[in-house]
Amino acid sequence: MNDTVLKPTLVIRQYTQLHPYADLFDEMKTLTNERDADTPDQLWILQHQPVLTQGQAGKPEHILLQTDIPVVQSDRGGQVTWHGPGQMVIYFLFDLNRLKWNVRTLVSFAEQLMIDLLQAYGIEAYAKADAPGVYVAGRKIGSLGFKIRRGRSYHGLALNIDCDLSGFQSINPCGYAGLEMVRLCDLLAAYPSFEQLCDQVVNYFKSREDFSDVQVITR
């Protein structure tokens, strides 16, 4: 009898246009609620229209100034953060039980993905045990927050490429007063584009053994 467990398929959606946060938030919840044991895992790579998202236990005092940037209440972990053009967002819609991952595995994977992407350009980035995310010389370049429902994950990470950092100036980023944010364009004279980083992410997943097949859909 063959007891080999088949590895899941991964479908990567690569979005070419800016997307409203609320629309994809609703779609993530719907997919998570309706998926079954045979549903392929998905990874969404995109950029959002400008938005502030507040975590499930987010404290309103971390929004320092009222601006014209919309604020959306989310159900992910963490506090308030900003998303917008020039920032790569990656959403992980994974069946953790099927992958035999726990929450810590997922968080560490997301952090290591960003660290490895940056390492390819000679940038020494690192994670912090007491403050999830990825940092370069004390400044935060990558944020993350997840929601797990019935062993399935959604939400994910955000990596700053060449975004307008003024979006962070009206908040305590991730709930940390005075936390300085940094971007790839601050660290490299010639930095990769969003599209180049998308290709790297796709190749990163194709090189791993967690999935039997990786399919890419451009939307």
What is the structure's pLDDT at 100? 95
DSSP, collapsed to helix, strand or coil, labels residue 219 as coil
Write down the mean pLDDT value for the chain.
93
Distances 96 to 3, 101, 109, 164, 165 between C-alpha atoms, Å: 20, 5, 12, 34, 33
Beta bridge partners of 9: 213
Question: pLDDT, tens digit, for every residue of 129-174?
Answer: 888 999 999 999 999 999 999 999 999 999 999 999 998 988 887 7
Nearest to 106 by CA among 80, 76, 135, 136: 76
Q: What share of the chain is helix, strand, coil (3-state, %, to 5)?
A: 30, 30, 40
pLDDT at residue 144, rounded to an integer: 95
Using alpha carbons, list the distances in angstroms from residue 77 to 45, 61, 148, 174: 20, 17, 10, 10
- Give 90's pLDDT tier (boundaries 50, 70, 90): very high
Distance CA 217, CA 164 (A): 28
Which CATH architecture is the domain 9-218 placed in?
2-Layer Sandwich (3.30)
Does this model's pTM top 0.75? yes
* Rounded CA separation 4/16 (Å): 38
What are the structural domain ranges in the chain?
9-218
Active site residues: 174
175-195 residue pLDDT tens:
878 889 999 999 999 999 999
Residue 2, pLDDT above cutoff 50: no
CA atoms of 196 and 69, how far apart (whole Å): 28
User: Does position 3 have pLDDT exceeding 60, yes or no?
Assistant: no
